[in-house]
Amino acid sequence: MICGRSDGYARAADDKKWMLNNEYGDGMRTMGQLFDRAASVRDKLGLASCAISAALIAPSLWAADMPGGPKVNQLDLPKGVTKIAADQHWMNWFLMAVCLVIFIAVFAVMFYSVWAHRKSKGHKPADFHESTAVEIAWTVVPFLIVVGIGIPATKMVVEQKDTSGADLTVKITGYQWKWGYDYVKGEGEGIGFLSTLSTPESQITGKDPKGLTYLMEVDNPLVVPVGKKVRVVLTANDVIHSWTVPAFGVKQDAIPGFVRDTWFKAEKEGVYRGACVELCGKNHAFMPVVVEVKSAEEYSKWVDARKKEMAAKADDPNKEWQLAELQSRGEKVYGANCAACHQAGGTGAGQFPALIKAASVVGPSADQIKILLNGKGAGMPAWKQLSDVEIAAVITYTRNAWGNKADEGLVQPKAIAEARK
Amino acid sequence: MSAVLDNHGHDSHDHAHDHPHGLRRWLFATNHKDIGTLYLWFSFVMLLSGGILALTLRAELFQPGIQIVQPEFFNQLTTMHGLIMVFGAVMPAFVGFANWQIPLMIGASDMAFARMNNFSFWLLPPAALLLVGSFFVPGGATAAGWTLYAPLSVQMGPGMDLAIFAVHIMGASSIMGSINIITTILNMRAPGMTLMKMPMFVWTWLITAYLLIAVMPVLAGAITMLLTDRHFGTSFFNAAGGGDPVMYQHIFWFFGHPEVYIMILPAFGIVSEIIPAFSRKRLFGYSSMVYATASIAILSFIVWAHHMFTTGMPVTGQLFFMYATMLIAVPTGVKIFNWVATMWKGAMTFETPMLFAIGFIFVFTMGGLTGIILSVAPLDIQLHDTYYVVAHFHYVLVAGSLFALFAGTYYWLPKWTGHYYDEGLGKFHFWASLITFNVTFFPMHFLGLAGMPRRYIDYPTQFTDFNALATVGAFGFGLSQLIFLYVVLKCIRGGEKAPDKVWEGAEGLEWTVPSPAPFHTFEQPPTFK
């Protein structure tokens, strides 16, 4: 092995966690073998070609297939773990076959003609230029083919759209640039959390090597039970997003101000990965979807743990907070929600204003509360989905950070509750 | 189809007209040939500008991670690449062909409204300046995608307003151009040329012009509503104010789908001229070609929501738009079959225009077949907004429209310049373009099937190889177009003298005038039999 590729493979193989989770299809595993063979051929070609292939091909040789995500140089739709995804997989191959037959038929005729009916071979042009029978035939036959495609497609549409009889309903909210999950009906009702990209920036900028699940990993994945029909209802907070998990064969836009729904029933435990697929602004590429499918027992355990965690975290609404407490809480809230636009140093960027010495931040706190609850202009969304404590904390934080010294430096959660009324 | 030109006293008319030189010739141009030339050069400049944007974003996508541009700027690149290519390159290029060729092909002395023709063209450079200039305003150019979906486009900075004004102006230009084309075709044909005897290129442009008049105002309406939502407190697309973000998509695609055919029907027309000429055989099924073109145009108005299968339509909506979209395959198939039947038992030669025309049929058909796959709504759910769609529409727009534009340029260039172009270099341009095009866009099918979303600045490492390959292909494709520029410039400066009838098998009135076509042609209408 040359080109220094072997250590990367070893690292991926050592990572037992990924190997355990790798239950997602196996049709494309041969690709890995194929690349092994390609690599050994390259080895024989020597060092000169190594430089070129290192530039072009080597990066993927460090990586292995992503569990629940794309495989290295995947050529096909995923087989998936739902009936819908399996149907789509079948439908794609069915259509490929139909198209291939048409393609070969048409171009066999054309290229035969190109080969046989050329002037250089002395072929004399014929004189025909219409034939009603032929023209009717090649109008009717494609029509029949289209009908033949339409029938199975219709069945699939009806199936995909049937969201009735769900065991669990989860509301998904798209935010710039993260997903919110709220369990609204079924086991786990009441659980809610945000899910953001967990890939460190150092990997994106290339300071650190990129991991196996680069850009398709989150802090809090959506967790659902295996074999249960999960209905997802989607909306968005700011612009249109779109939630997809290819292994489930599901894709649905999340539209601000409207609610749309779709469903899936995962038939295999594991981790499955997707993305936001509707352009939603600068970090569109950085709000992945991760869904963990657990067995019924594991799921119940997760629900219990999550509920206990939430109870412990719940804030006492009447508590009087200390400045330092709110500041440290606010710093986290700021980092998770505000820094993407206003920047970690409060300096702002482009159309997003700086918060250092900004009138709304150092002036009367009532104004700032209003902006956070209702949004401002086109750029600043409303943040009313945050809790009173979180809003109070982030306001308090901005009023004391980066050299800001506001008169009303400490804003209590009660003030937010007041303002909401 | 044959024609006899009455050439008597042709030259003696020239001096009777004002024939300005230098800048005035172009600024005040009212001659259809000069205006056609302006359109063609303008669109080529825009093609290169849009191409540079594309190469920048392809360079960023060569490897995973962020290396060259930042996410905000990346989104500006994808958006402006789309807007510039659609409104700046492809549409004006076809209008350039219409200006040059329609009067020559129907035996008219010029376009019907010569001064409006001038205005239609000269609206374009200011619009292009607005688009390109928007990169330099605070916040940069619009980054909402070429479709400018609300509410993301409502969030944008002033670059968005410049784009809206630019599209307004280009739309006005298109509408005026269309009025001119329709009036010219319907009123100024040579005696004896009935509608069903018109060259196919003229037919396709007549239908395209009607499409333009029907849908450009719809686009203008959509972006005007965006403008008022942005600045005047309306809520057309804001749910909180009683509006609907999805309504923007309905209005946009009611324009957008016919727009797709606006960019391909004239291409069909060009190919329908070239295939018979180099097969030395009449076009097969002329009338069914006309009916197929008209059917495609009519169907294009009832398929728009196939761009929106993932917005969450009811079952009946998905089914209707799926069936209607599949139906378009039928007339499109008829056209492909007719071209193949035209070639069948001809006596073919393979000069560059023919190569590009056959390349068009071959590669466009691949884009058409992926179109059928995408039309199947339950499968589109997987493929929507992935690179599969990117591959599909570049197969029909680049290998479709752009290849037809190249074919047409090589076909008529000797008529325009009076010289044959360098055949060897032309063929080199064709093969370089065909190969690099496929290297660029074929791997994108796989990326899409594997689930890589469009408009992503960064991607998981598993997608690296195909992205790297596409980038290498894209730079090859970009460089190949410099061959085209060189061939055209060389042809303008000189070359083998072209006779009146440039191609042995070519038929039509344009081959009865001298090469290069004199400043004024057909001052006396020719006789058409």
Per the CB < 8 A criterion, the answer to whether A284 and B456 are in contact is yes
State pLDDT tens for residues A80-94. Answer: 999 999 999 999 999
State pLDDT tens for residues A163-210. Answer: 999 999 999 999 999 999 999 999 999 999 999 999 999 999 999 999
**Per-residue pLDDT, A63:** 65
Instruction: Name residues 40-59 of chain B within 8 A of A (Cβ).
Output: none
- Could you give the C-alpha distances from B198 to A393, B211, B266, in angstroms and in order? 75, 19, 14
Partner-chain contact B149 A279, CB within 8 Å: yes
Partner-chain contact B330 A242, CB within 8 Å: no
**Per-residue pLDDT, A1:** 32
Residues of chain B with pLDDT > 90, as a percent, come to 93
| Catalytic residue list contains B58 | no
Kindly tell me if the per-residue pLDDT of B157 is higher than 60: yes
Please give the residue that has the higher pLDDT: either A52 or A88.
A88
The shortest CB-CB distance from A281 to any of B152, B238, B310 is to B152
Per the CB < 8 A criterion, the answer to whether B64 and B459 are in contact is yes
Partner-chain contact B347 A117, CB within 8 Å: yes
Q: How far apart are CA A293 and CA B497, in angstroms?
A: 73
Q: How far apart are CA B320 and CA B305, in angstroms?
A: 9
Q: How far apart are CA B275 and CA A31, in angstroms?
A: 42
Q: Is the CB of residue B144 less than 8 Å away from at least one CB of chain A?
A: yes
Per the CB < 8 A criterion, the answer to whether B159 and B140 are in contact is yes
Contacts of B186 by beta carbon, 8 Å cutoff, 6+ apart? B206
Partner-chain contact A276 B453, CB within 8 Å: yes
| Catalytic residue list contains B146 | yes
Copy the structure tokens of residue B501.
């009838």
Kindly tell me if the per-residue pLDDT of A48 is higher than 70: no
Q: How far apart are CA B28 and CA B118, in angstroms?
A: 7
Residue of B nearest to A123 (CA): B347
Kindly tell me if the per-residue pLDDT of A16 is higher than 50: no
Rounded to 10°, the helix B464-493/B423-449 angle is: 160
The shortest CB-CB distance from A239 to any of B155, B334, B449 is to B155
pTM (two decimals):
0.84
The mean-pLDDT minimum among A401-415, B104-118, B329-343 falls in A401-415
Please give the residue that has the higher pLDDT: either B288 or A319.
B288
Find where tokens 């056609």 sit.
B36
- Could you give the C-alpha distances from A92 to A78, A399, B29, B175, B433, in angstroms and in order? 11, 56, 53, 40, 29
Q: Which residues of A touch B315 (CB under 8 A)?
A: 157-158, 161
Can you give the length of chain A in residues? 421
- Please give the full DSSP string across B172-207, using - where no structure is assigned: HHHHHHHHHHHHHHHH-PPTT--GGGS-HHHHHHHH
**Per-residue pLDDT, B11:** 46
Q: How far apart are CA B276 and CA B262, in angstroms?
A: 23
Q: How far apart are CA B378 and CA A152, in angstroms?
A: 10
Q: Which residues of A touch B144 (CB under 8 A)?
A: 279
Copy the structure tokens of residue A226.
């295996």
Instruction: Name residues 362-401 of chain A within 8 A of B (Cβ).
Output: 378-379
| Catalytic residue list contains B110 | yes
3-state secondary structure B443-490: HHHHHHHCCCECCCCCCCHHHHHHHHHHHHHHHHHHHHHHHHHHHHHH
Which candidate in A62, A90, A100, A278 is best for mutational testing of the B interface (most B CBs within 10 A)?
Answer: A278
State pLDDT tens for residues B185-203. Answer: 999 999 999 999 999 999 9
Q: Which residues of A touch B148 (CB under 8 A)?
A: none
The mean pLDDT of chain B is 94
Per the CB < 8 A criterion, the answer to whether B28 and B20 are in contact is yes
| Catalytic residue list contains B307 | yes
Count CB-CB contacts under 10 A for residue A163. 16
Average pLDDT over residues B114-120: 96
Q: Is the CB of residue A281 less than 8 Å away from at least one CB of chain B?
A: yes
ipTM above 0.95, yes or no: no
The shortest CB-CB distance from B465 to any of A57, A113, A284 is to A57
The shortest CB-CB distance from A70 to any of B323, B334, B462 is to B462
Find where tokens 């390109």 sit.
B132
Residue type, B194: T
- Could you give the C-alpha distances from B160 to A379, B103, B149, in angstroms and in order? 14, 38, 11
Residue of A nearest to B454 (CA): A277
CA distance A412 to chain B (A): 29
Q: Is the CB of residue B298 less than 8 Å away from at least one CB of chain A?
A: no
CA distance A303 to chain B (A): 30
Q: How far apart are CA A14 and CA B380, in angstroms?
A: 38
Average pLDDT over residues B134-145: 94
Q: Which residues of B touch A75 (CB under 8 A)?
A: 446, 449-450
State pLDDT tens for residues B373-400. Answer: 999 999 999 999 999 999 999 999 998 9
How does residue A414 score in pLDDT terms, banded at 50, 70 and 90? confident
Instruction: Name residues 214-243 of chain A within 8 A of B (Cβ).
Output: 214-216, 234, 238-240, 242
Which candidate in B338, B348, B475 is best for mutational testing of the A interface (most A CBs within 10 A)?
Answer: B348
Beta-bridge partners for A261: A233
Burial class (CB in 10 A: 0-12, 13-18, 19+), B21: exposed
Burial class (CB in 10 A: 0-12, 13-18, 19+), B16: exposed
Q: Which residues of B touch A240 (CB under 8 A)?
A: 149, 151-152, 245
Before B64, cis peptide (omega within 30)? no
Q: How far apart are CA B1 and CA B528, in angstroms?
A: 8
CA geometry: angle A212, A204, A336, nearest 5 deg: 100
Q: How far apart are CA B203 and CA B402, in angstroms?
A: 19
Before A317, cis peptide (omega within 30)? no
How does residue A62 score in pLDDT terms, banded at 50, 70 and 90? low
Q: Which residues of B touch A160 (CB under 8 A)?
A: 378, 381
How does residue B225 score in pLDDT terms, banded at 50, 70 and 90? very high
Average pLDDT over residues B359-365: 96
| Catalytic residue list contains B454 | yes
- Among residues B32, B81, B189, B394, the one annotated as catalytic is B81
In this structure, the strands spanning A250-254 and A241-245 are antiparallel
Instruction: Name residues 385-424 of chain B within 8 A of A (Cβ).
Output: 385-386
State pLDDT tens for residues B251-305. Answer: 999 999 999 999 999 999 999 999 999 999 999 999 999 999 999 999 999 999 9
- Maximum mean pLDDT: which of A316-320, A351-355, B23-27, B104-108: B104-108
Upper half-sphere CA count for residue B295 (Cβ side, 13 Å): 18
How does residue B70 score in pLDDT terms, banded at 50, 70 and 90? very high
The mean-pLDDT minimum among A362-371, B132-141, B311-320, B353-362 falls in A362-371
Which candidate in B464, B466, B475, B503 is best for mutational testing of the A interface (most A CBs within 10 A)?
Answer: B464
Residue of B nearest to A66 (CA): B462
- Among residues B33, B58, B281, B306, the one annotated as catalytic is B306
Say which DSSP state A190 is in: T
CA distance B181 to chain A (A): 29
- Among residues B33, B168, B230, B257, the one annotated as catalytic is B257
Residue type, A264: F
Q: For residue A142, which of B319, B290, B331 has the smallest C-alpha distance?
A: B331
Q: Which residues of A touch B456 (CB under 8 A)?
A: 275, 284-285
Residue A270: its H or E element = strand A270-276
Q: How far apart are CA A82 and CA A85, in angstroms?
A: 5
Partner-chain contact A106 B284, CB within 8 Å: no
**Per-residue pLDDT, A349:** 78
Q: How far apart are CA B256 and CA B307, in angstroms?
A: 9
Count CB-CB contacts under 10 A for residue A421. 4
Q: Where are the alpha helices (DSSP H) in A63-82?
A: none
Average pLDDT over residues A383-393: 86
